[in-house]
Structure 1
Amino acid sequence: MSKSDEKVYRIQGLTCTDCAAAFEANVKRIPSVKSAKVNFGAAKITVKGVVSIKSIEKAGAFDNLQIRHENEQKVKQVTFWRQRTNLKVYFAVLFLIGSFLLRLQLGEEHILPVIGYALTIIIGGYSLFVKGIKNLIRMNFDMSTLMTVAIIGAAAIGEWGEGAIVVILFAISEALERYSMDKARQSIESLMDLSPKEAIIRRHGEELVVRAEEIQIGDTMIIKPGQKVAMDGVVVKGRSYINQATITGESIPVDKKENDVVFAGTVNQEGLLEVNVTKRVEDSTLAKIIHLVEEAQAEKAPSQQFVDRFAKYYTPAIILFALFLVMFPPLAFNAEWSEWIYRGLTVLVVGCPCALVISTPIAIVTAIGNAARNGVLIKGGIYLEEAGLMKVVAFDKTGTLTKGTPVVTDLIPFHKYQKSHLTIAAAIEKHSQHPLATAVVKKAEQNNLDVDDYCVEDFQTYTGRGVSARVQDDMYFIGSLAFFEEKLKMKLPNDMRKEISNLQKQGKTVIIFGSEKQVIFILAIADEVRSSVANVVIRLYELGIEKIVMLTGDNEQTAKSLGRKIGMSHIQAELLPEEKLNVIKELKISHGKVAMVGDGVNDAPALAASSVGIAMGGAGTDTALETADIALMSDDLNQLTYTIELSRKALRIIKQNILLSLTIKVIALILVIPGWLTLWLAIFADMGATLIVTLNSLRLLKLKKK
Structure 2
Amino acid sequence: MGNEQTLDRLEAKTYRVQGLTCTNCAAKFEQNVKSLPGVKEAKVNFGAAKLTVWGEATIDELEQAGAFEQLTIREERERTVQREPFWKRKENRNVFASVALLLFGVAADAADKGMLAVAMYLAAIVIGGYSLFWTGLRNLVSWQFDMKTLMTIAILGATAIGEWQEGAVVVILFAISEALERYSMENARRSIASLMEMAPVEAIIRRGPEEMTVPVEDVRVGDVMIVKPGGKIALDGIVISGASTVNEAAITGESLPVEKTVGDAVFAGTLNGEGFLEVEVTKRADETTLAKMIDLVEEAQAERAPMQAFVDRFARYYTPFVIVTALLIALVPPLVMGGEWLDWIYRGLAVLVIGCPCALVISTPVAIVTAIGNAARRGVLIKGGVYLEQIGRLRAVALDKTGTLTEGKPAVTNVVVYEGTREQLLAIAAAIEKRSQHPLASAIIRKAEEEGAPFLDASVDAFQSLTGKGVKAAVGNETYYIGSPALFTSLIGKLPDEAEKQISAFRDEGKTVMAVGTTDRLLGLIAAADQLRPSAPETVAALRRLGVAEVVMVTGDHEQTAQAIGRQAGVSDIRAGLLPEQKLSAIRELKQRCGITAMVGDGVNDAPALAAADIGVAMGGAGTDAALETADVVLMADDLRQLPYTVHLGRRTLAVIRQNIAVALGLKVLALVAAVPGWLTLWLAVFADMGATLLVTFNSMRLLRVKE
Normalised by the size of structure 2, how large is the TM-score?
Answer: 0.95
2:59 corresponds to: 53
Which of these residues, 11, 17, 20, is aligned with residue 17 of structure 2? 11
1:30 corresponds to: 36
Once residues 164 and 87 of structure 1 are traced to their aligned partners in structure 2, the CA distance between those partners, rounded to angstroms, is: 16
Give the alignment of 1:554-569 within 5 angstroms: 554-569=557-572
Once residues 243 and 176 of structure 1 are traced to their aligned partners in structure 2, the CA distance between those partners, rounded to angstroms, is: 36
Whether the 8 Å contact between 1:263 and 1:284 is mirrored in structure 2 is yes
Moved more, 686-695 or 170-179: 686-695
Q: Are positions 1:150 and 2:154 aligned together?
A: yes
The 1:449–1:55 alpha-carbon spacing in structure 2 relative to 1, beyond 3 Å, is farther
Per-residue deviation, 1:444: 3.3
Which of these residues, 41, 44, 49, is aligned with residue 47 of structure 2? 41
2:4 corresponds to: none
1:633 corresponds to: 636
Whether the 8 Å contact between 2:424 and 2:453 is mirrored in structure 1 is no
Per-residue deviation, 1:535: 1.5
Which of these residues, 407, 411, 430, is aligned with residue 407 of structure 1? 411
Whether the 8 Å contact between 1:466 and 1:478 is mirrored in structure 2 is yes
1:685 corresponds to: 688
Partner of 2:109, secondary structure, is: helix
Once residues 163 and 267 of structure 2 are traced to their aligned partners in structure 1, the CA distance between those partners, rounded to angstroms, is: 62
2:100 corresponds to: 94
Per-residue deviation, 1:461: 5.6
Per-residue deviation, 1:466: 3.6
Structure 2 runs not aligned, ≥5 long: 1-6
Whether the 8 Å contact between 2:426 and 2:453 is mirrored in structure 1 is no
Per-residue deviation, 1:473: 8.4
1:379 corresponds to: 383
Which of these residues, 458, 467, 470, is aligned with residue 462 of structure 1? 467
Root-mean-square deviation (Å)? 2.0
Partner of 2:399, secondary structure, is: strand
Structure 1 runs not aligned, ≥5 long: none
Which of these residues, 70, 80, 95, is aligned with residue 76 of structure 2? 70
Residues 286-341 of structure 1: per-residue CA shift (max 9 Å, x gap): 11111111111111112211111111111111111111112222222222222222
Partner of 1:316, secondary structure, is: helix
Partner of 2:622, secondary structure, is: coil
Which of these residues, 23, 26, 29, is aligned with residue 20 of structure 1? 26
Give the alignment of 1:405-444 within 5 angstroms: 405-414=409-418, 422-423=426-427, 425-444=429-448
Amino acid across the alignment from 1:325: I
Once residues 608 and 452 of structure 1 are traced to their aligned partners in structure 2, the CA distance between those partners, rounded to angstroms, is: 51
Give the alignment of 1:127-526 within 5 angstroms: 127-414=131-418, 422-423=426-427, 425-446=429-450, 447=452, 449-451=454-456, 453-455=458-460, 457=462, 459-460=464-465, 462-463=467-468, 465-468=469-472, 476-485=480-489, 488=491, 490-526=493-529
Per-residue deviation, 1:537: 1.7
Q: Percent identity?
A: 57
Per-residue deviation, 1:426: 3.5
Whether the 8 Å contact between 2:463 and 2:471 is mirrored in structure 1 is no
1:624 corresponds to: 627
Which of these residues, 660, 668, 692, is aligned with residue 657 of structure 1? 660
Per-residue deviation, 1:514: 3.8
Partner of 2:623, secondary structure, is: coil
Per-residue deviation, 1:42: 0.5
Moved more, 573-582 or 512-521: 512-521
The 1:37–1:461 alpha-carbon spacing in structure 2 relative to 1, beyond 3 Å, is farther
Whether the 8 Å contact between 1:459 and 1:470 is mirrored in structure 2 is no
Partner of 2:111, secondary structure, is: helix
Partner of 2:20, secondary structure, is: coil
Whether the 8 Å contact between 1:427 and 1:456 is mirrored in structure 2 is no
Whether the 8 Å contact between 2:492 and 2:521 is mirrored in structure 1 is no
Partner of 1:695, secondary structure, is: helix
Once residues 37 and 358 of structure 1 are traced to their aligned partners in structure 2, the CA distance between those partners, rounded to angstroms, is: 19
Once residues 512 and 2 of structure 1 are traced to their aligned partners in structure 2, the CA distance between those partners, rounded to angstroms, is: 62
Per-residue deviation, 1:522: 2.0
The 1:349–1:461 alpha-carbon spacing in structure 2 relative to 1, beyond 3 Å, is farther
1:578 corresponds to: 581
Whether the 8 Å contact between 2:229 and 2:273 is mirrored in structure 1 is yes
Residues 103-136 of structure 1: per-residue CA shift (max 9 Å, x gap): 22235xx333222222222211111112112222
Once residues 138 and 462 of structure 1 are traced to their aligned partners in structure 2, the CA distance between those partners, rounded to angstroms, is: 81
Once residues 388 and 511 of structure 2 are traced to their aligned partners in structure 1, the CA distance between those partners, rounded to angstroms, is: 38
Once residues 656 and 396 of structure 1 are traced to their aligned partners in structure 2, the CA distance between those partners, rounded to angstroms, is: 36
Whether the 8 Å contact between 1:34 and 1:48 is mirrored in structure 2 is yes
Moved more, 541-550 or 676-685: 541-550
Normalised by the size of structure 1, how large is the TM-score?
Answer: 0.95
Per-residue deviation, 1:216: 1.6
Once residues 671 and 242 of structure 1 are traced to their aligned partners in structure 2, the CA distance between those partners, rounded to angstroms, is: 61
Q: Are positions 1:704 and 2:684 aligned together?
A: no
Once residues 427 and 210 of structure 1 are traced to their aligned partners in structure 2, the CA distance between those partners, rounded to angstroms, is: 48
Give the alignment of 1:544-559 within 5 angstroms: 544-559=547-562
Amino acid across the alignment from 1:74: T
Once residues 127 and 470 of structure 2 are traced to their aligned partners in structure 1, the CA distance between those partners, rounded to angstroms, is: 85
Once residues 421 and 3 of structure 1 are traced to their aligned partners in structure 2, the CA distance between those partners, rounded to angstroms, is: 67
The 1:316–1:165 alpha-carbon spacing in structure 2 relative to 1, beyond 3 Å, is same
Aligned residue pairs total 701
